[in-house]
A and B are shown apart, each in its own frame.
Chain A
Amino acid sequence: MASIAGVFRRPTHPAGVWGWITTVDHKKIGALYGVTAFFFFMVGGLEALVMRIQLARAGQDVVSPEVFSQLFTMHALTMIFLGVMPLSAAFFNLIVPLMIGARDVAFPRLNAFSYWLFLFGAIVLQSGWLLGGSPNTGWFAYAPLTSNSFSPGNGMEFYIVGLGVLGISSVAAALNFIVTIINMRAPGMTLMRMPVFIWMTLITSFLLITAFPVITVGLIELYFDRTFGMNFFNAAAGGDVVLWQHLFWFFGHPEVYILILPAMGIVSEVLPTFSRKPLFGYEVVVLSGIIIGFMGWAVWSHHMFTVGLGPIANSVFALTTMFIAIPTGVKIFNWIATMWGGSISFKTPLLFSVGFIAMFIIGGLSGVMHSIAPSDAQQQDTYFVVAHIHYVLFGGSLFAIFSGIYYWFPKATGRMLDDRIGQVNFWLTMIGFNLAFFPMHFLGLDGMPRRQYTYSSDMGWDIWNFVSTIGGLILGVAVLVFLFNFFLSLRKGEIAGNDPWDGRTLEWSISSPPPEYNFATIPTVHGRDAFWEEKYGHGGKVPAGVSPEEGHQGGIHMPSPSYLPLIASLGLSIAAYGLIYSFAVSVVGAVIALAAIYGWALEPAAEPAGRES
Chain B
Amino acid sequence: MFNRPHLAVFVALLALFGALLIVGCNPDNPQSILDAKGPVAQRQLDLYWIIFWMALFVFVVVGGGLLYTVIRFRRRPGQGIPAQVHGNTKLEIGWTVVPAIMLAVIAVPTVISQFYISNAPSGDQLQINVTAHQWWWEVQYPDSGVVTANELHVPVGMTVSVELTSADVLHSFWVPKLAGKMDIFPGKTTSMWFRADEVGEYFGQCAEFCGESHAWMRFRVITDTPEDFEAWTASQLAQAAKPATPEATAGAGLFLSKACIQCHSTTPGVPTAGFPYPAPNLTHFGGRTTMAAGIMEMNAANLREWLSDPNEVKPGNIMAKEARAYTDPASALSSDDIDNLVAYLQGLR
Q: How distant is B270 from chain A, measured CB to nearest CB, in Å? A: 22
B2 at the interface (CB under 8 A from A): no
A53 at the interface (CB under 8 A from B): no
Structural contact, B55 and A235, CB atoms closer than 8 A: no
Choose among B75, B76, B88, B315 the residue with the greatest number of A CB atoms under 10 Å from its CB.
B75
B-contact 0/1 string along A345-379, CB 8 Å cutoff? 11000000010011001100110110011111111
Contacts A341-B73, A447-B205 given: A361-B63 contact, CB under 8 Å? yes
B-contact 0/1 string along A320-337, CB 8 Å cutoff? 001101100110111011
Q: How far is the CA of A454 from the CA of B213 in the complex (A)?
A: 10
Q: How far is the CA of A342 from the CA of B25 in the complex (A)?
A: 40
Hey, which chain A residues are within 8 Å of B65, CB to CB? 336
Q: Tell which of A137, A278, A374 touches B85, judged by Cβ atoms closer than 8 Å.
A: A278
Contacts A372-B110, A381-B208 given: A235-B43 contact, CB under 8 Å? no
Stretch at the interface among A34-42, A212-220, A308-316, A562-570: A308-316
B287 at the interface (CB under 8 A from A): no
Hey, which chain A residues are within 8 Å of B34, CB to CB? 445
B316 at the interface (CB under 8 A from A): yes
Hey, which chain A residues are within 8 Å of B113, CB to CB? 374-375
A227 at the interface (CB under 8 A from B): no
Q: How far is the CA of A239 from the CA of B310 in the complex (A)?
A: 33
Q: Tell which of B74, B75, B84, B118 touches A314, judged by Cβ atoms closer than 8 Å.
A: B118
Stretch at the interface among A115-123, A142-150, A259-267, A485-493: A142-150
Q: How distant is B226 from chain A, measured CB to nearest CB, in Å? A: 28
Structural contact, B103 and A342, CB atoms closer than 8 A: no
Stretch at the interface among B46-54, B148-156, B237-245, B253-261: B46-54
Structural contact, B186 and A235, CB atoms closer than 8 A: yes
Q: How far is the CA of A271 from the CA of B182 in the complex (A)?
A: 44
A451 at the interface (CB under 8 A from B): yes
Structural contact, A375 and B51, CB atoms closer than 8 A: yes
Structural contact, B187 and A382, CB atoms closer than 8 A: no
Hey, which chain B residues are within 8 Å of A311, CB to CB? 114-115, 118-119
Structural contact, B70 and A282, CB atoms closer than 8 A: no
Structural contact, B95 and A448, CB atoms closer than 8 A: no
Structural contact, B62 and A308, CB atoms closer than 8 A: no
Structural contact, A445 and B25, CB atoms closer than 8 A: yes
Residue on A nearest B91 in the bound complex, by CB: A337
A-contact 0/1 string along B25-39, CB 8 Å cutoff? 110111111100000
Structural contact, A343 and B82, CB atoms closer than 8 A: yes
A-contact 0/1 string along B182-224, CB 8 Å cutoff? 1101111011100000000001011111111111000000000
Structural contact, A373 and B114, CB atoms closer than 8 A: yes
Stretch at the interface among A61-69, A162-170, A184-192, A428-436: A61-69
B180 at the interface (CB under 8 A from A): yes
Structural contact, A446 and B26, CB atoms closer than 8 A: yes
Structural contact, A344 and B215, CB atoms closer than 8 A: no
Residue on B nearest A308 in the bound complex, by CB: B190
Hey, which chain A residues are within 8 Å of B186, CB to CB? 144, 235-236, 241
A283 at the interface (CB under 8 A from B): yes
Q: How far is the CA of A449 from the CA of B212 in the complex (A)?
A: 14
The A contact surface, by secondary structure, is helix
Q: Tell which of B55, B76, B181, B211 touches A366, judged by Cβ atoms closer than 8 Å.
A: B55
B87 at the interface (CB under 8 A from A): yes
B300 at the interface (CB under 8 A from A): no
Chain B contacts with A in 1-34, Cβ cutoff 8 A: 21, 24-26, 28-34
Hey, which chain B residues are within 8 Å of A372, CB to CB? 47-48, 51, 106, 110
A280 at the interface (CB under 8 A from B): yes
A479 at the interface (CB under 8 A from B): no
Structural contact, A314 and B209, CB atoms closer than 8 A: no
Q: How far is the CA of A372 from the CA of B53 in the complex (A)?
A: 14
Q: How far is the CA of A365 from the CA of B45 in the complex (A)?
A: 17
B-contact 0/1 string along A435-450, CB 8 Å cutoff? 0000101100111111
A138 at the interface (CB under 8 A from B): yes
Q: How far is the CA of A358 from the CA of B64 in the complex (A)?
A: 10
Structural contact, B170 and A142, CB atoms closer than 8 A: yes
Contacts A339-B69, A372-B51 given: A333-B30 contact, CB under 8 Å? no
Structural contact, A65 and B316, CB atoms closer than 8 A: yes
- Which interface class (under 10, 10 to 19, 20 to 34, 35 or more) fits A? 35 or more
Structural contact, A236 and B187, CB atoms closer than 8 A: yes
A306 at the interface (CB under 8 A from B): yes
Hey, which chain A residues are within 8 Å of B168, CB to CB? 144, 150
Q: How far is the CA of A319 from the CA of B107 in the complex (A)?
A: 7
Q: Tell which of A142, A345, A454 touches B215, judged by Cβ atoms closer than 8 Å.
A: A454
Chain B contacts with A in 78-104, Cβ cutoff 8 A: 79-88, 91-92, 95-96, 99-100, 103
Hey, which chain B residues are within 8 Å of A450, CB to CB? 209
Structural contact, A340 and B73, CB atoms closer than 8 A: yes
B275 at the interface (CB under 8 A from A): no
Interface size of B by CB at 8 A reads: 93
Structural contact, B110 and A382, CB atoms closer than 8 A: no
Choose among B30, B62, B70 the residue with the greatest number of A CB atoms under 10 Å from its CB.
B70
A-contact 0/1 string along B110-142, CB 8 Å cutoff? 110111111100000000000000000000000
Q: How distant is A51 from chain B, measured CB to nearest CB, in Å? A: 13
Structural contact, B315 and A66, CB atoms closer than 8 A: yes
Q: How far is the CA of A368 from the CA of B102 in the complex (A)?
A: 11
Residue on B nearest A288 in the bound complex, by CB: B96
Structural contact, A145 and B48, CB atoms closer than 8 A: no
Q: How far is the CA of A377 from the CA of B44 in the complex (A)?
A: 8
Q: How far is the CA of A311 from the CA of B111 in the complex (A)?
A: 8
Structural contact, A357 and B66, CB atoms closer than 8 A: yes
Q: How far is the CA of A339 from the CA of B71 in the complex (A)?
A: 10
Structural contact, A336 and B188, CB atoms closer than 8 A: no
Hey, which chain B residues are within 8 Å of A322, CB to CB? 103, 106-107, 110
Q: Tell which of B86, B91, B114 touches A315, judged by Cβ atoms closer than 8 Å.
A: B114
Residue on B nearest A242 in the bound complex, by CB: B185
Contacts A374-B47, A447-B31, A447-B176 given: A326-B69 contact, CB under 8 Å? no
Contacts A277-B85, A343-B81 given: A284-B31 contact, CB under 8 Å? no
Structural contact, B33 and A378, CB atoms closer than 8 A: yes
Q: How far is the CA of A451 from the CA of B328 in the complex (A)?
A: 33
Structural contact, A65 and B85, CB atoms closer than 8 A: no
A413 at the interface (CB under 8 A from B): no
Contacts A447-B30, A460-B26 given: A333-B118 contact, CB under 8 Å? no
B-contact 0/1 string along A553-586, CB 8 Å cutoff? 0000000000000000000000000000000000
Q: How distant is B274 from chain A, measured CB to nearest CB, in Å? A: 14
Q: Tell which of B52, B117, B214 touches A451, judged by Cβ atoms closer than 8 Å.
A: B214
Contacts A138-B209, A277-B82, A375-B45 given: A343-B31 contact, CB under 8 Å? no
Residue on B nearest A240 in the bound complex, by CB: B187
Q: How distant is A155 from chain B, measured CB to nearest CB, in Å? A: 12
Structural contact, B82 and A342, CB atoms closer than 8 A: yes
B58 at the interface (CB under 8 A from A): yes
Hey, which chain A residues are within 8 Å of B179, CB to CB? 377
B160 at the interface (CB under 8 A from A): no
Hey, which chain A residues are within 8 Å of B180, CB to CB? 306, 374-378, 380
B307 at the interface (CB under 8 A from A): no
Chain B contacts with A in 262-282, Cβ cutoff 8 A: none
Structural contact, B103 and A459, CB atoms closer than 8 A: no
Hey, which chain B residues are within 8 Å of A330, CB to CB? 92, 95-96, 99
Q: How distant is A362 from chain B, measured CB to nearest CB, in Å? A: 7
Structural contact, B170 and A354, CB atoms closer than 8 A: no
Q: Could you give 7 example pairs across A and B, Cβ below 8 Å?
A: A330-B95, A332-B62, A346-B74, A375-B51, A377-B44, A380-B207, A445-B32
Known: A277-B85, A311-B115. 17 other contacts (CB 8 A): A65-B215, A281-B88, A310-B118, A311-B114, A322-B107, A329-B99, A330-B99, A333-B95, A343-B75, A361-B62, A361-B66, A369-B52, A372-B48, A377-B44, A377-B179, A449-B214, A453-B214
B contact residues vs A (CB 8 Å cutoff): 21, 24-26, 28-34, 41, 43-45, 47-48, 51-52, 55, 58-59, 62-63, 65-66, 69-70, 73-76, 79-88, 91-92, 95-96, 99-100, 103, 106-107, 110-111, 113-119, 168-170, 172, 174, 176, 179-183, 185-188, 190-192, 203, 205-215, 295, 315-316
